[in-house]
Structure 1
Amino acid sequence: MSKTIAMMQPYLFPYLGYFQLIAASDLFVLGDDLQYVKEGWINRNRILVGGEPKFITFPLKKDCHTLNINQRHMCDNIQDELSRIIRTISLSYSRAPFAKTVLPWLEQVLRYPQSNLARYAENALRETCDYLHITTPVIRASDLTLPPPIDHQDRVIQTMKVLGGKTYVNPIGGRSLYCFDYFMSHGMQLRFHRIDTIEYKQLKQPFVANLSIIDVLMLNSVEQIRQMLSRFSLLES
């Protein structure tokens, strides 16, 4: 049974720390049945455009704001929007050292024929993990058929029990959402992931941190990125 488990919403091309979290886990759970958050990080992220951080956004169909991520869909003209996104990335990173390798791969991932937001993001995450040789198994929370949770903390506890988890790892930004003693009362440990200060040569200075993994891929080799994957801390309190 798995021991260390992490769980996050399926984000589209998230920052490096997201992939550190996957690589540091024995099992990673995609929270595809969590509620979609407008103007969050699920269907948008930042890249460098003209040396400045700019959002690239994957437009969705207009729908009820209470729907879950796996109930949302891409807009009807998503192929046109993808062409625009690909053009923006291509122009912005045309001089990047690994553009010739990354751009064809990235376009193939972006053109994945799936309108469901959760499935589309899941495929992009899996493809990126394969590209970076991250072998952690990834599963969907919606496949676990868990009972309705009392709150976010109980949802994690339920997931851990079903999967046999002993240690739950959460990004450090969520410290206020979880209680160490509560996890201990269920025989589990709680840890918080904190990415180290990581800088690499970007196309222009000053360095902009925590951009989309697209920026990292364009400017670093797979070997360099794999070294970055281990540059984090797991905090116990």
Structure 2
Amino acid sequence: MRLAIMQPYLFPYLGYFQLIRAVDAFVIYDDVDFIKGGWINRNYILGHADKQLVTLPLQGASPNKRINQLEVSARHKLLQTIRQCYGKAPHFAAVYPVLMDIFSQQTSQLALLLEYQLRSICAYLGLQPKWFVSSAMEKAAGLRGQGKILDICDVLGATRYINLPGGKSLYDREAFAERGLQLSFLQPGAVCYRQFGRKFVPGLSIVDVMMFNDREQCAKLLDAYELV
């Protein structure tokens, strides 16, 4: 079984969903420390001049808290910003209702909202992995880093663990091989598509991809990767 384990991010970039496309099961890694200034509650969209950072406000955000201990505050401004930036995008009418549904969820818990967001976007994109949530799994206590990842792989019976390129400095192939696991990294391919006829701005969130590409085009972009 091919497995990926990732923290839940706000509107992750295309590579995150390519990773979900590449695996059989996906673990939402919500019982790890919140990273202030990371991508858990913010991301880039296409602004009127260049990329624009959007942020989901949190209550009492702290690196001393885990992701599943945080709560969301007001969220309507984020939706307004997306509407202002993408109101004339070719697939706004199809995508915006998905985003409205996500942010209409009554939960104030960040982890639950981000989980719903990931599931909703995957449903739109036609991705159907088997879902797990780290905090709900029975696993060894007190483990961190690579040890915790290996334990989750053992619990779920994974045979291959796939991570994004940023994990190359975090994981040791020999340690995985000793547990009977193949360690691979996803390498996204070059991506370019039309954005209002302007010069292409790369590295934006999945919202940008969906606003400018229909489901068939999105499917092709999701397959634009290799495993190394």
**TM-score exceeds 0.5:** yes
Tell me which stretches of 4 or more aligned residues in structure 1 moved more than 3 Å. Answer: none
Give the whole-Å Cα distance in 1 for the aligned partners of 2:143 and 2:113: 29
Describe the superposition over 1:18-51 as per-residue Cα deviations: whole angstroms up to 9, x where unpaired.
1111111010000011111001000111101103
Q: 2:102–2:113: 8 Å Cα contact kept in structure 1?
A: no
- The aligned residue for residue 39 of structure 2 is 41
Describe the superposition over 1:179-229 as per-residue Cα deviations: whole angstroms up to 9, x where unpaired.
111111111110001110111111253211121111011100011001111
- Equivalent positions of 1:125-164 (< 5 A) are 125-164=118-157
- The aligned residue for residue 89 of structure 1 is 82
State how many pairs are aligned: 228
1:103 maps to 2:116: no
Give the whole-Å Cα distance in 2 for the aligned partners of 1:87 and 1:150: 41
Q: Which amino acid aligns with 1:230?
A: D
Give the whole-Å Cα distance in 1 for the aligned partners of 2:49 and 2:224: 25
SS in 1 for 2:27: strand
Give the CA deviation at 1:63: 4.6
**Aligned alpha-carbon RMSD (Å):** 1.2
Q: Specify every segment of 5 or more residues in structure 2 that has no aligned partner in the other structure, as ranges.
A: none
1:170–1:149 Cα change, 3 Å: farther
Give the CA deviation at 1:150: 4.0
Question: More displaced, 11-20 or 146-155?
Answer: 146-155
Q: Which amino acid aligns with 1:115?
A: S
1:64–1:11 Cα change, 3 Å: closer
- The aligned residue for residue 29 of structure 2 is 31
- The aligned residue for residue 72 of structure 2 is 74
- Equivalent positions of 1:1-237 (< 5 A) are 3-75=1-73, 78=74, 82-235=75-228
Give the whole-Å Cα distance in 1 for the aligned partners of 2:178 and 2:105: 43
Give the whole-Å Cα distance in 2 for the aligned partners of 1:156 and 1:171: 14
**Percent of aligned pairs sharing the same letter:** 38
Give the whole-Å Cα distance in 2 for the aligned partners of 1:149 and 1:191: 26
Give the whole-Å Cα distance in 2 for the aligned partners of 1:110 and 1:150: 33
Q: TM-score w.r.t. structure 1 length?
A: 0.93
Give the whole-Å Cα distance in 1 for the aligned partners of 2:34 and 2:218: 29
